[in-house]
Amino acid sequence: MKASTRLDLERRRAALLGRLQALPNLMRGSVYERWHKCGRAACGCAGAGPKHLTRQLTVTLGGRTHTRYVRVEEVEQVRAQIATYHELWAIVNALTAVNLALLRREPAGGRAGRKRRGA
């Protein structure tokens, strides 16, 4: 991070907190597509015919992996929620960098006036 004034860092932090509050609904996970057989004996996929394309959402919560079918009309909504989750982490990382830079800065008055013990 480039050298910034304390005021610049505080403004950046305020902007990041504003972005954080403005985030819409979010969800962690991933959506993937897979081909599978439907299980109906009369369907073409049961033999040599083409399989069916489905979309799945996979999320790990509490050490367990949960998978759910995602309907065609839900795909964009779920992908948008996952994208918002990634945006959340980008904001959290930027906010952490700003707060770390603020912690590294000297307090008002600096160290120049202090004397070391035993010196």
Mapping DSSP to helix (H, G, I), strand (E, B) and coil, where does residue 67 land?
Answer: strand
104-112 contacts, C-beta under 8 A, 24 or more apart: 105/6, 105/9
What would the pLDDT profile of 22-51 be if each residue is shown by its tens digit?
A: 999 999 999 999 998 888 988 888 888 899
- The pLDDT tens digits of the residues spanning 39-91 come to 898 888 888 889 999 999 999 999 999 999 999 999 999 999 999 999 999 99
pTM: 0.75
